[in-house]
Structure 1
Amino acid sequence: MKTLVKILLALLISVSVKAQNTVGPLDGYTPQVGTLVSMLNDMKNRVERTVGNLSVEELDYLMDDKSNRIGSLIMHLAATEKFYQVYTFEGREFNKEEEEQWGTAMSLGEEARDKYQGHDVQYYLDAYTEVRNKTMELMKQKDDAWLAELNAAGNMNYHWAWYHVMEHQSSHLGQILLLKKRLPNK
Structure 2
Amino acid sequence: MIDYRITSKEGYAEKIGELVSMLEHTRAVTLEEIKGLSERELDFLPDDRSNTIGSLLLHIASIEYVHQVISFEKRDITEAELKKWQAALELGQTGRNTIRKHGLEFYLEELSQVRENTLANLKNYQDQWLFEEKQWGNGIPHNNYYLWYHVMEDEINHRGQIRVIKRMLAEK
What is the TM-score with the length of structure 1 in the denominator? 0.87
Amino acid at match of 1:58: E
Q: d(CA) in 2 for partners of 1:20 and 1:158?
A: 25
Q: Which residue of 2 aligns with 1:16?
A: none
Q: d(CA) in 1 for partners of 2:38 and 2:97?
A: 18
Q: d(CA) in 1 for partners of 2:72 and 2:87?
A: 22
Contact 1:72 1:116 in 2 (8 A): yes
TM-superposed deviation, 1:38: 0.8
Alignment partner of 1:128 out of 74, 91, 111? 111
Contact 2:55 2:95 in 1 (8 A): yes
TM-superposed deviation, 1:152: 5.2
Alignment partner of 1:177 out of 138, 156, 163? 163
Q: Deviations over 1:23-79 (max 9, x none)?
A: 110011001001001101111111111112111000000000000000000000000
What is the number of equivalent residue pairs in this alignment?
Answer: 168
Q: Which residue of 1 aligns with 2:150?
A: 164
Q: Which residue of 2 aligns with 1:147?
A: 130
| 3-state secondary structure, aligned to 1:182 | helix
Q: d(CA) in 2 for partners of 1:152 and 1:33?
A: 21
Structure 2's unaligned 5+ residue stretches are none
The structure-2 alpha-carbon separation of the partners of 1:144 and 1:161, relative to structure 1 and needing over 3 Å to count, comes to: same
Q: Does 1:58 align with 2:41?
A: yes
What is the TM-score with the length of structure 2 in the denominator? 0.93
Q: Deviations over 1:3-24 (max 9, x none)?
A: xxxxxxxxxxxxxxxx931011
Q: d(CA) in 2 for partners of 1:45 and 1:184?
A: 22
Q: d(CA) in 2 for partners of 1:47 and 1:28?
A: 24
Amino acid at match of 1:74: L
Structure 1's unaligned 5+ residue stretches are 1-18
Q: d(CA) in 2 for partners of 1:185 and 1:145?
A: 49
Q: Which residue of 1 aligns with 2:90?
A: 107
TM-superposed deviation, 1:151: 2.5
Q: d(CA) in 2 for partners of 1:62 and 1:179?
A: 8
- How large is the Cα RMSD of the aligned pairs? 1.4
Contact 2:6 2:21 in 1 (8 A): yes
Give the fraction of aligned pairs with identical amino acids, expressed as a percent: 36
Q: d(CA) in 2 for partners of 1:182 and 1:92?
A: 40
Structure showing greater radius of gyration is: 1
Q: Deviations over 1:96-151 (max 9, x none)?
A: 11001111100001111111111111100100110000000110001100001112
| 3-state secondary structure, aligned to 1:151 | strand
